[in-house]
Amino acid sequence: MKKILFVLLMAFLFVSCSKNEELSLTPSDTGTVTDCQGNSYNTVKIGNQWWMAENLRCTMYDTESERPGIAIPVTTRPSSQSTTNYGPYYVDVSDSITPYSGNLTSEQRSKLGLLYTWAAVVGESSQSNAQNRTTDYPGVRQGICPNGWHVPTDDEWTVLINNLGGNKSAGTAMKTSDGWYKDKGYVAGVNNSEFSVLPGGSDTGTYVSAGGSTVNLPSVYGIGFDANFWSASANAWYRGFTCNSSEVKHFPLAKFNYLSVRCVKNSEE
């Protein structure tokens, strides 16, 4: 009888824990938000935060942002006679599909969004201004995000990650189950958070000589392999996801890199 009671008790605890875990990873609400160019994004509430559930693909600052109505210049590779100003820039990752992107559907490619320099994300007028920024912005930083939303701080990313199990395991709850490179060591996402991380890759830039000067230009890689997102924190902490791990990477990164962007809703909205 004691053995039977013990088994029943353990079964009850197992079910209870499973239910609690499921509830903690199940978003309470979903919705949409539209940027100033008419692009619509799915959104999801996780804990007390509302997040975009798709990568940003806007190329202009909103009417109430730090740089209203200003378009971000797209980066193009210069000829030997031309020069290119150094940031802020964005690049369209859909123009650089790698051999490992064959497992991405056309719908997923449309959701990979754009890659941005940190200067472009936070709305600095130049790369040098961004580089010289050493203290966090007071309050929220809207930057390239739609009205009522802002670029998440590193602390806001931490809240999200902790709500989903912490850095060591949250990637599984946040990554989509398809669209990622699959091979030995592949760790599939289950996306029960509905955050829907897709492998949009990143870009550390390629230095080339043009018109007598050296410029840093996009060289997109990692599509199908990884996803990386900026924060608004002055030391440019980012969060990274890979195809072969459930861990969420957390490091500061050089601001001239090009990464994806997710916006978070202002708490007072």
**pLDDT single digits (tens) 70-95:** 999 887 655 544 444 556 888 877 76
- For residues 17-38, give the mean pLDDT: 67
Alpha-carbon span 249 to 237, nearest angstrom: 10
**The pLDDT value given to residue 220:** 77
**Quick one: how far is CA 15 from the chain centroid?**
33
pTM, entire model:
0.84
Name the pLDDT band for 213 (thresholds 50, 70, 90): low
Residue 121 has pLDDT above 80, yes or no: yes
Helix (H, G, I), strand (E, B) or coil at 62: coil
Sign of CA dihedral 41, 161, 200, 187: negative
> Which one, of 179, 168, 115, 161, lies nearest residue 264 by Cα?
161
pLDDT > 70 fraction of the chain, expressed in percent and rounded: 78
Domain spans of the chain, in order of start: 28-265
When the pLDDT of each residue in the chain is averaged and rounded to a whole number, the result is 83
pLDDT (0 to 100) of residue 86? 53
Cα 179 to the center of its chain, rounded Å = 16
Tell me which residue has tokens 């472009």: 120
Residue with structure tokens 């969004």? 113
Q: Which of 163, 91, 150 is nearest to 122 (CA)?
A: 150
Neighbour-count burial of 24, counting CB atoms closer than 10 A to its CB (0-12 exposed, 13-18 middle, 19+ buried): middle
- Which of residues 100 and 24 earns the better pLDDT score? 100
Query: How many angstroms separate the CA atoms of 26 and 23, rounded?
Result: 5
